[in-house]
Every structure is written in C-alpha cells, then in structure tokens.
Chains A and B, each alone.
Chain A
Amino acid sequence: MATLATPIAATPVHDQALPTYAETTRDVIATLQPPGRKYYVGLGFVLLGLAFGAFGWGWQLRYGLGVTGYQPPIFWGTYIACFVFWVGIAHSGTLISAILLLFRSTWRTAVYRCAEMMTVFAVMTAGLFPVLHLGRAWYAYWVFPYPNFRGVWSNFRSPLVWDVFAISTYLTVSATFLTMGLIPDFAAVRDRAIGWRKQLYSLLSFGWKGSDREWRHFGRMYLYLAGFATPLVLSVHSVVSWDFAMAIVPGWHATIFAPYFVAGAIFSGCAMVITILVPLRKAYHLERYIQVRHFENLAKVCLLTGLIVAYAYGVEFLMAWYSGNPFERASFYNRAFGDYWWATWIMLSCNVFVPQLLWFKKLRTNLSVLFVVSILINVGMWFERWVIIVTGLSHEYEPWQWTYYFFRWPEIAILVGSFCWFSMWFLLAIKFLPVVAISELKEALPPPLKAQARR
C-alpha cells in the first residue's frame, strides 16, 4: 500500500496542551497509515459475520419466508425492528454535525466526523432491511415511483412511500454533508500523500486549495446544508414512526410516536457514537483531540434524550389506561406482563434505569462505565423497536389474531450480518477518511499570532 510522503507517527499524548495546526494535521493523518495486524483480524471477523448474514439471507430466498419466525398476522418482526434501529442510529450524526453547528457548540468538532460517517453507514444498513424482509426481494423496486408500462404509480397517501422518500433523501443529504465537510480535509491529505493516494485525494478534494473565494462560498453552503439537515433529521424518524402510528394497531396508533421516536433515535445514536469512539480514540491515540469532556457531553445528550424516552414510555402506559379503550389496555398489559414481558423489561432496564447512572459526573467521565452503558442503551433501543412491533402485532383486536412470534436462525444471522456490514464500512472508512475533521479542529484552536502586538 502506498504511504504518505513521510512516515508519520501520532504524538504519544497524555499532555492535554492545545495542539498546533501542524500537529493536528499530522496526528489525524496518522490514522490513515497502513493498518496493522489487529485491524486485519478485526476486518476478517467482520467479513465472516457478513458472510453468515449473507448465508442466512440466501437460505431465506431459497426456502421462503417460512424459515423465519413469521406467521400470520405477524409479518413485521425482527427485520423491521432492525430497520428502525439502524435508522435511529443514523440520527445522532446529523444531530451532532448539523444541529450543534447551528447552536455553535464547538465541542462537536472532535466527534462529528465519526458521527456523520456512522450516519451514512447506518442508513446504508437500514436500507437493506425493507428488501431483506421481502419474500421476493427481486420485486423491491416496486416501491419506487417510476413510469412503467401499466401506468401504475406508487400510492403517495401511504406512509411506506413517505418512508421511501424520507430515507432516500436522508441518505443523499447526509452523504452529501459528509462529503462536503471532507473536501478541505481531503486537500490536506492530498498535500501530504504520495503515489496512488495522492491521485485519489486530488480527485476527492475537487482541486480544493483553501483560497478566500473557496472558503467564502463553502462556509455558506455548509451552513445552509446544516439548515436543511436539521428539519430533515427531525422529519425522518417522524416519518418512520408514522409507518406504525398511521395504522390502527393497538399500541401503535398514537400521536406521541413522532417525538418519541426522534428522541429515541438520538438517544441510541449518541450511545453508538460513544461505543465507537471509545476504542477508536485509544487505537489511534486521539486522546488529545477526543477528550473526556466530549464524552461527557455525549453522555449528557444521552441522559436528556433517555429521560424523554422514559417519559414517552410513561405516557404510553398512562394513555392506555386513561383512554378507557379495552384494546389499548390489553395491548399494554400484554406488553408488560404477557408473553413478551422479558423483552419489555430488558427495554425498560436498559433505557430507563441504566442511563440514570449518567447523573453522576464520576460515572459519566469514566470511559469504561460509559462504554458499557452505551452498549446497554443500544441493546435496550433494539428491544424497544422489537417490543413495539411484535407486541403490537401479536395482540390485535380479536383473539384469533393473537399469536407468538420468535426469531429463528436466519433472522439472527441477518441481524449479526447487519452489524458486520456496518462495521465493515466503518473499518474501511477509517483508513480512507480522516476520522476527525482536520480543518474544523483547527478552526476551534486559537490561531497562531505574532508574539508582539501588531504595529
């Protein structure tokens, strides 16, 4: 593999003094050096998991959806739970990169690139599930509105079509946002690279030179993209929630779903950012840039959104009781004490009780604790989606509709495969894209000035 012009080693940093511009460039570009054995071992495991997922899907295609746990009337189970989970994971990226940019929160600079990469890869993962849960996946293109010989168009009154528009827009805009933010950083890498990498980064940087003219238009464009991405991120999970809320299934048909889903998405997304950043920071010696205070701020966002989620759980149960609707009451009683009590209590433990640890500064600044809490939050959030979908569908209006769904091995294979698919893209990306935004890190630093006063 071609390397950079001079072998660069990251500064061994335990010194928290502010880095200079040159140190920032050097340390971030050091993450792009050819990987070591641990990286390839990790990538190998991820590819193995992906192959397991592909095998599960192949089996399902060969023998039909009967090999999964689906049975009437439950045709939305683990796959749709995964879809909602991964769309949710995507949300923190845009929150951190766009919303915090508009709020001028400078702490975002250290973590936003990683969160944005996570957003794009999570949407790429989520996008697989509507296809994966089809029996005849080769007809997936029917959801797209395209002129066809029968003159049939998609039904724009259906939330599923809204979802197609929302998710495609989200993928396009978040990928654009990521790519645009990378342009100045690609130029910095280009100027330090040799061989094929120089050619690659020259193309990727679009010939960026950092001139006054370029920065002037770039700055505005970035601001407006953030302005667009902010309502988009709030709309996407709202639209996803309407896939459920627009149906009359007990436990789904609630107006609280949109804000409840958005808060849950940011909650799980921030937790995933923590899960990824803790090992990444250690592996690439980025302690000087990604500091404990950044993790603490992410933990505070998790705590806040976790409280909103806990409130939403409370409102759901309260409204089921207060509405006097026997179907709603039965559905929520079944959720907490019926067949799926175990899943509901995993959800409540991980999403309501565990995040309360983050009230304590000592715990939220301890990265080991934070890492474990973030994983538990994501376990809880995955179960939240599973509980909403499965308990709702398994206990509809009439007793003949009541059934018990449980996932089988193809679903587990595809779930594992989805994590590996996401990790594969992430592992590949950290060797090609600067994981911390070089130019924005520099922007947050005090500029170099002459020792003596000017004139």
Chain B
Amino acid sequence: MSAPAGVVGVFGRLDATVAAIEALQGRGYANYRVYSPVPRPELAEVLKQKVSAVRLFTLFGALFGTCFGFFYAIATSLDWPLITGGKPIISWPPFIVIGFETTILLGSLITVGGMFLLAGLPKLGRAPGYDPRFSDDKFGVVAFGGPAQLAEARELFRTAGAEEVKDV
C-alpha cells in the first residue's frame, strides 16, 4: 500500500473544527482543505477568506448585458427603419427596458459561470478525503503533506477533538 497523501479529521463540532484549523495554521501548514455541510462565518474567519472574485464576473456580465441590450435594439431598429407611432427610430426610453432585462440576464448567467470557474465545478471524480458525512452533520479537515507532517496533523486533529482521524 502506498503512503497516504493526506489525513482527514472528521469533526462533529464547529469549535473543534476551528481549533484544528488554528492548530494547523500555528504549525505553518498551508496545504489543507475544509469541508462543511453549511457555510459558517467562523470557518470563513479562521480561514481568512478573501472576498470572492465572482464580483468581477458580475460587473463584467452586467455591463456587457447593458451594452448588448442597447446595441441589439438600436442595430435592429436601424436595420429595418420603420417609423411606428410617430416615434424616433432610436427611441431611448423603450430601449431602457430591453437594456435593463439583458443587464440582469447576462449579469446573472455570467456570475453563475464565474462561480463555476472559480469553485472548480463541475468536479468530476473523487475529492481526496471527502466523506459523505460532510454533507450531513460533520465537518472535515484534510491536511496534505509528507509523512512527518501527516503524523503531526493526526495528533493535532485528535487533540482538537476529532471524532475520527483517517488516512487518504
């Protein structure tokens, strides 16, 4: 059997999970992953998470949507210049409705696309250390590293209050 690539700590308590992460950080670990059934602010805080870059996709999507809506309405009106109701061919007020809707539509879809890209979804295959209990009621911390680091991580997890520690 090959040497384990990582160690998983299965935790039933949030504060124990936070303690395990703090302990890992205290020993200088950088290569670890945390699984949880719910997003918790305590975890985001201890992991010192930066604000997601999804917002850039949102901004781009919304701006692109606005431009697209106006361009579409204007270009097609010029392509078939038929005056109706005595209104100008390029009538801004009604085109705002189209521009507004495409802003929302493309902004939303590109935001979702950005999330998929940044979160690495769809994720085919297995994630090392993932346990089905992590989508139910357990928290998981997976530490990766060499044999010495993993031995230390096992000890840290047990001290922090892991219900189970296993190799992956």
Contacts and interface: CB of A to CB of B under 8 A. Distances in A.
Interface of A: 20-22, 25, 145, 151-158, 161-162, 165-166, 168-169, 172-173, 176-177, 180, 184, 187-188, 190-192, 206-221, 224-225, 228-229, 231-232, 235, 239, 439, 442-443, 447-450, 454-455
B67 interface: no
Contacts of B25: none
A217 B118 contact: yes
23 contacts: A21-B137, A22-B136, A145-B72, A153-B76, A153-B77, A154-B76, A169-B101, A172-B108, A173-B105, A188-B135, A207-B122, A207-B127, A210-B134, A212-B33, A212-B47, A213-B33, A213-B118, A215-B43, A216-B49, A228-B108, A235-B97, A447-B14, A450-B15
A173 B105 CA distance: 7
A165 B80 contact: no
A217 B50 CA distance: 10
Contact of A157 (B87, B122, B134): B87
A231 B135 CA distance: 33
Interface string B1-45: 000000000001111101100000000000001111111101110
Contact of B97 (A162, A173, A177, A224): A162
B168 interface: no
B46 to A, nearest CB: 10
B72 A228 contact: no
B137 A25 contact: yes
Contacts of A212: 33-36, 43-44, 47, 49
Contacts of B95: 156
A306 B15 CA distance: 46
Contact of A218 (B100, B104, B115, B136): B115
- Interface residues of chain A: helix, strand, loop or mixed (majority): helix
B35 A209 contact: yes
B108 A217 contact: no
Given A212-B33, A439-B38, 6 more contacts: A155-B84, A172-B108, A188-B136, A220-B115, A224-B107, A448-B137
Contacts of A190: 135
B63 interface: no
B42 A173 contact: no
A173 B14 contact: no
Contacts of A173: 104-105, 108
A21 B115 CA distance: 26
B97 A239 contact: yes
A218 B13 contact: no
Contacts of B43: 212, 215
Nearest to B132: A191
B100 A209 contact: no
Contacts of A224: 54-55, 58, 107-108, 111
B76 A145 contact: yes
Contact of A213 (B55, B107, B116, B119): B119
B135 to A, nearest CB: 4
Nearest to A183: B121
B80 A443 contact: no
A152 B83 CA distance: 13
Contacts of B115: 180, 217-218, 220-221
Nearest to B47: A212
B77 A156 contact: yes
B137 A20 contact: yes
A212 B43 CA distance: 8
B157 to A, nearest CB: 14
A156 B35 contact: no
Interface in B84-103: 84-85, 87, 91, 94-95, 97-98, 100-102
A218 B42 contact: no
Contacts of A220: 51-52, 54-55, 115
Nearest to B36: A210
Interface in B130-168: 130, 132-137, 161
Contact of B19 (A153, A154, A232, A455): A455
Contacts of A219: 39, 52
A180 B112 contact: yes
A15 B58 CA distance: 44
Contact of A442 (B15, B38, B87): B38
A137 to B, nearest CB: 25
A225 B111 contact: yes
B135 A157 contact: no
A217 B77 contact: no
Contacts of B135: 25, 184, 187-188, 190-191, 209-210
Nearest to A26: B136
B102 A165 contact: yes
A151 B44 contact: no
A176 to B, nearest CB: 6
Nearest to B77: A156
A211 B128 CA distance: 11
A231 B104 contact: yes
Contact of B94 (A162, A210, A214): A162
A157 B80 contact: no
Residue among B58, B73, B135, B136 having the largest count of chain A Cβ atoms under 10 Å: B135
A449 B18 CA distance: 10
A184 B115 CA distance: 14
A447 B76 CA distance: 55
Contact of A210 (B35, B82, B112): B35
Contact of A165 (B55, B101, B121, B125): B101
Nearest to B117: A217
Interface centre among A151, A157, A455 (most CB of B within 10 A): A157
Contacts of B132: 191-192
Contact of B98 (A156, A192, A209, A218): A156
Contacts of B53: 217
